[in-house]
Amino acid sequence: MDNGASSYRRFRDDGDKKGLDDIINDYCDGLMLYLTSIVGNIRTAEELAEDTFVLLGIKKPKFNGKSSFRTWLYAIGRNLAIDWLRKNSRHVSIPIEDAYGLTDDEETVEAAYIRKEEKIAVHRAMRKLKAEYQQVLWLVYFEDMSNKDAAKVMKKSVRSVEALLYRARKSLKVQLEKEGISYEKT
């Protein structure tokens, strides 16, 4: 997997549909899990991830290479998720099965994307944190983004991402302790 930029260039400039297929294959799961941290529902996140790829296909926005392709893609997805939240803020309802834990779908994606068991436990603990904490932890610890890239995706300053990350880690630690898990990031 390259960084996605060349696949997107093939799709955008040469009309190669396979380029978009490669992007979907490479980024779909990560994007969906990231969007889940914003909208709190894997099915909605899946729809939004699909919307993100459709937007790439119809608007063909220009990727200028100022950040990594993934940072850029996640920022587009985040914008769509924020729009979705604005439109549905009065009507958001979480299915009863989603309210207390993960759905089967999310578990499947989680297992496929995260793979390491201990990280999966952390991810599940994260689900009980505030949405912003989930987002920043996901981007920095699961997507291995730098604070700068995470700041770009979340449209915040690097300083505020650092502060957010600090509070998120503290909160996650408390949550993990509650669940009897001791986890130290290496």
Partner 1 sequence: MKKREEMIRDVHRRIDEYEAEHRTKSRRLTKTAFAAVPVCAAAAVGIGLWKSGAFSPAADKFSGASVETTAEVTETITAEIQTAVPTEKAVVTEAPAVTEAPTEEKSSGHLNMGDMSGAVIYNETVFLQFFPEDGAYTADAYIGNGDDLEGFYKGTGDLTRFYTAKEDAEVIVVEFTINGGKVYLKKDGISADSFRKELEKIKEMERNGAVF
Least distance to partner 1 from the beta carbon of 169, Å? 30
Least distance to partner 1 from the beta carbon of 56, Å? 9
Least distance to partner 1 from the beta carbon of 160, Å? 34
d(CA 56, CA 124): 30
- The residue among 19 and 151 lying less far from partner 1, judged by its C-beta, is 19
Least distance to partner 1 from the beta carbon of 54, Å? 5
Place of tokens 């952390």: 122
User: Shortest CA distance to 22 belongs to which of 4, 35, 39?
Assistant: 4
Virtual torsion, Cα 11, 14, 18, 23, nearest 10 deg: -20
Least distance to partner 1 from the beta carbon of 184, Å? 33
Query: Using an 8 Å Cβ cutoff, are 60 and 17 in contact?
Result: no
- The residue among 56 and 153 lying less far from partner 1, judged by its C-beta, is 56
- The residue among 21 and 83 lying less far from partner 1, judged by its C-beta, is 21
Query: Using an 8 Å Cβ cutoff, are 123 and 115 in contact?
Result: no
- The residue among 21 and 97 lying less far from partner 1, judged by its C-beta, is 21
Place of tokens 């099915």: 43
- The residue among 53 and 74 lying less far from partner 1, judged by its C-beta, is 53
Q: What is the largest CA-CA distance in the chain?
A: 53
Q: Which residues bind partner 1 (CB under 8 A)?
A: 17, 20-21, 24-25, 28, 42-43, 46, 49-50, 53-54, 57-58, 105, 108-109
Tokens of 150: 């995470």
